[in-house]
Structures are given as structure tokens and as C-alpha cells.
């Protein structure tokens, strides 16, 4: 797959506000936050979309959720609640084709998360 901006963040070629790093993953603050806390949790292995996850990636994808739970606990919003979401493809609004969990927290979050554009469809 072609390199995305997230590979440049992993390689420190462009800056990011990194909140977690380990052998498998990186987590950093979204540049355009949609909640008081908006983190992106990514695998260091570039995988374009959920559709490209293979059986061999099962542990890695589970690891991303473990990082989400750890950050929620460490940053103090685990009990208040938060949302973890991964967009896949055009209809979900995916813009960066390197899978990433969005972790949103810090306020009550609306549900369902439709935009006006989606409601018209
Ligand atoms: P998607 O729309 O693919 O689910 O989410 C991509 C996210 O990446 C968006 O929320 C967008 O704000 C964020 N993003 C795009 N470019 C950058 C960047 O250079 N740095 C950071 N920290 N976030 C980015």
C-alpha cells in the first residue's frame, strides 16, 4: 500500500502529540479534534482498511483496543465513558488509509453519530 501521513508520524518525519508508543502501536492526538479528548491509535504495521486485516493481524487489532482501554484508565476517563470507532471506506468517511481507532472522550457523545450529509442519503 502507498505510504500515508501516519507512516510519517511513526517515523517522526512530521510532528504529532504522541501519548503512547510500544512495539506494535502508536497513539497521538487528532489534529482536528471532535471531542475534548480525541486520540488516534494506530498499528505501526500499515494496513489500509478493516477489509485488509488478515487472520495474522488478529492479535495486533486486539492490541489496539487494549491500548484504548489503558489510555482511558491512565488519562482518567474510563469510568465516565468514551467511544472507540474505526471508519472503513468512503461511506464511513475514512480519509487516511492506515487503520486507526478514534478514541473520543471528555463529554457526552451523541448517538447515532450521523452527519446531515448522511441523513440525506
Ligand atoms: P478518518 O477520517 O480516516 O477516520 O480519520 C482520519 C483522522 O486523521 C481525522 O480525524 C484527521 O483529523 C486526522 N489527521 C489527518 N491528518 C493528520 C495529521 O497530520 N496529524 C494528526 N494528528 N491527525 C491527522
Ligand 1, atom 17, lies closest to the CA of 31
Q: State the fold for domain 5-117.
A: HIT family, subunit A (3.30.428)
Predicted local confidence at residue 113, as pLDDT? 82
**CA pair distance 92, 87, nearest whole angstrom:** 5
Cα radius of gyration (the chain): 14
Residue 49, judged by CB atoms within 10 A of its CB (0-12, 13-18, 19+), counts as middle
Told to judge if 100 belongs to the known catalytic residues of this protein, a careful annotator would answer yes
Q: DSSP class of residue 119? A: H
One digit per residue, the tens of pLDDT, for the chain of length 121 reads 678 999 999 999 999 999 999 999 999 999 999 999 999 999 999 999 999 999 999 999 999 999 999 999 999 999 999 999 999 999 999 999 999 999 999 999 999 887 766 666 5
Answer whether 28 contacts ligand 1 (Cβ < 6 A): yes
- Sketch the domain layout of the chain as residue ranges: 5-117
Q: DSSP class of residue 51? A: G
Shortest-distance atom of ligand 1 to CA 96: 3
Predicted local confidence at residue 116, as pLDDT? 67
Going from the Cα of 95 to the center of ligand 1, the distance in angstroms, rounded, reads 7
* Positive or negative torsion for Cα 7, 11, 16, 20: positive
Instruction: Give the global pTM.
Output: 0.95
Q: What is the spatial order of strands in the sheet that 37-43 belongs to?
A: 18-21, 25-29, 37-43, 101-105, 82-85
Amino acid at each position: 500500500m502507498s505510504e500515508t501521513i501516519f507512516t510519517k508520524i511513526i517515523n517522526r518525519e512530521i510532528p504529532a502529540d504522541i501519548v503512547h508508543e510500544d512495539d506494535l502501536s502508536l497513539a497521538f492526538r487528532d489534529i482536528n479534534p471532535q471531542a475534548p479528548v480525541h486520540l488516534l491509535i494506530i498499528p505501526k504495521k500499515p494496513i489500509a482498511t478493516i477489509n485488509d486485516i488478515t487472520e495474522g493481524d488478529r492479535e495486533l487489532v486486539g492490541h489496539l483496543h487494549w491500548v484504548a482501554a489503558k489510555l482511558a484508565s491512565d488519562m482518567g476517563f474510563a469510568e465516565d465513558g468514551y467511544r472507540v470507532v474505526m471508519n472503513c471506506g468512503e461511506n464511513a468517511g475514512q480519509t487516511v488509509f492506515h487503520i486507526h481507532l478514534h478514541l473520543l472522550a471528555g463529554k457526552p457523545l451523541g448517538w447515532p453519530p450521523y452527519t446531515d450529509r448522511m441523513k440525506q442519503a
